Amino acid sequence: MARTEQVLVLEPQHELKFRGPFTDVVTATLKLTNPTERNVCFKVKTTAPRRYCVRPNSGIIDAKNSVNVSVMLQPFDYDPNEKSKHKFMVQSMLAPYDMTDMEGVWKEAKPEELMDSKLRCAFEMPLENDKTHESESNKTVSSSTSSVKTELSSLPKSTSASLDDGEVKKIMEECKRLQMEVLRLREENKQIREDDGLRKRKVTSMGAPHSSSSAMATSTMREEGLGTRVLALCVLFFVIGVIIGKLAL
């Protein structure tokens, strides 16, 4: 008897991508959405359980709700010539209305009640220009933070004393908020670079007639790097302006 079609919506649908370097834990997120009017039980299984940590690996998704599953790949020696054979399976079933023991429900489930979806794993290393860009961004943000700290420490003691603890706290909180905003924008830029990198590889594989498209992708990535550095400098000048404004009062 044929299995019931999967009712959960998976994002991504077919492939979990893990982006290196793989010297530390790399996490991919699998979103499970339940579009039905019934609660759904789910389990996440893998062919390589020692290589991954999955949280949560089972549970119940309420009707019209979603769950984000974190799939954590453990550190390993990456070989670009070795193709990943790891796979994941999301198994699900409609939760009984009178369910009290989820493990018991799985044990008593009939084969025709079970639904499953399979995903393969893909390992990717960042491009060299991505590494360079990210390194420059990190240096820019770090230098901006250091400059703010230097400006604060270089203030005369009498001037520093004129700022009460409440004002100093507000300035530091504003600085922290702006730093978090820079980091968030940098993550968005990183995602855009990854998408551009994929498009660039596709264009390259199509041959020389599309070399102009590759050049446009590279130009776009450079402009994004410049935008991040400009933003970091704006954060620096803003914080220093706030400090000077407080002193002027």
Token couple for 193: 């670079």
pTM value is 0.53
d(CA 40, CA 8): 8
Token pair for residue 149? 């700290």
pLDDT value, residue 125 = 86
Q: CA 102, CA 88: separation in Å to the nearest integer? A: 21
Contact 57, 44 (CB under 8 A): yes
Mind listing the pLDDT tens digit for each residue in 41-72?
999 999 999 999 999 999 999 999 999 999 99
- Main-chain dihedrals φ then ψ at residue 20, nearest 5 degrees: -70, -175
Give pLDDT, residue 231. Answer: 66
From the number of C-beta atoms within 10 Å of its C-beta (0-12, 13-18, 19+), residue 4 rates as middle
As given in the structure block, the two tokens for residue 164 are: 């009460």
pLDDT: is 196 or 72 the higher one?
72
Q: Residue 228's pLDDT is what?
A: 60
